[in-house]
Amino acid sequence: MQILMAGLGSAGQRHVRNLRTLFGDSVEIHAYRVRGLPRVIGADGGIAPGSVDATYGVRAFSSLDDALAARPDAVFVTNPTDQHLRVAQAAAQAGCHLFLEKPVSHTLDGVDALLRTVAARGLVATVGYQFRLHPVFLALRDLVAAQAVGRVLSARLDFGEYLPAWHPWENYREMFHGQRARGGGVILEQSHDLDYACALFGRPSQVTAVGGCSGELDIDAEDTVDMLLTCGSLEAPIPVHLHQDMLRRPATRTCAVTGTLGRIEADFMAGTVTITRPDGSIDAPHVAMVDRNALFLEELRLFVRAIQGRGTPLVSLEEGVATLRVALAAHASLRVGEPVGVC
């Protein structure tokens, strides 16, 4: 199998390491690199000596056309968010399967064309929402589906992590993650929360968002936001409250679900799920801690199996686009100061 990596930053290098772990030298890896930064980023997040291309055994191209002319089987789109659709569309037109890092894009421009191309050519396309494999999410999914605390009345999701600590080897002010025009900001960067909220409670019909750029980080993208997602049906709406910020230390990601027969409290960082019953009794189903990279490895296995016709990827392109639509509705609500429907 031949793989093209469109971008070899932190995410791209992780996928290369994981491809080597799973398939060794049986996979040939090329890279489309524009900036060609020399940093080798280790599995521990530290900087290692050596050349990126030599370290990973990668053949580099500075032209996307030249890289696609080598006829890769699949393209991993791991470059900055504002470049995703340009690369993904060219790759799909060349007949390549797609692995897009989240989010799909920072805009809907070109999304429908990509969906049509992928469908017309019968390609496998997935979006990197690996939290769908997290043991805590799986436990939440099963408990909600089984109505373990009765009918869901509401949910509250909380995420916080300090942006300057994401990539300590570089100046966070220069990273696209904090640049609005390049698809940065906490809503798109941490759309994991929107993805798993939709998976648990259904796609919202509207979003109300408040917040924005606090000024604490000297960036121009939103670093803190509170949303109200109106999920469920018109007859039985489920208010889902979501807080996200890029300011908090230590990092946190939690979800609390209130039902007619109790409450579920889940902590992704601690790997715990607790159920409180109406009488005050507590159940704590065992949820094992997980090596974060194990989620990426399994996500990768599912993608390759789908390419081989042995299953489906973890998150389809259609699902990734649906999450993007929710994120963009939240952006619109921030701008206009009122609820915005999800198109």
CB of 239 closer than 8 Å to CB of 227? no
**182-209 burial: b if 16+ Cβ within 10 Å, else e:** bbbbbbbbbbbbbbbbbbbbebbbbbbb
Say what the pLDDT of residue 38 is: 74
pLDDT at 219: 97
- For the chain, domain boundaries: 2-123, 131-290+323-341
Is the pTM value of this prediction over 0.75?
Answer: yes
9: left (phi over 0), alpha (psi -120 to 50) or beta: beta
Angle (CA) 189 46 175, round 5°: 35
CA-to-CA distance for 295 and 276, rounded, in angstroms? 28
pLDDT for position 87:
98
Q: Which fold has domain 2-123?
A: Rossmann fold (3.40.50)
Q: What is the pLDDT of residue 97?
A: 98
pLDDT at 289: 78
Helix (H) or strand (E) holding 209: strand 206-212
Residues of the chain with pLDDT under 50: none
Angle between helices 317-336 and 111-121 (to 10 degrees): 170
* Class of the CATH domain delimited by 131-290+323-341: alpha beta
pLDDT tens track for 120-156: 999 999 999 999 999 999 999 999 999 999 999 999 9
Do 199 and 231 touch, CB atoms closer than 8 A? Answer: no
Which residues, 6 or more positions from 66, have their beta carbon under 8 angstroms from its beta carbon? none
pLDDT confidence of residue 181: 94
- Tens of pLDDT, residue by residue over 61-74, are 999 999 999 999 99
For the chain, the farthest-separated pair of C-alpha atoms sits apart, in whole angstroms, at 66
Tell me the per-residue pLDDT of 75-106, one tens digit each, with 9 for 90 and over: 999 999 999 999 999 999 999 999 999 999 99
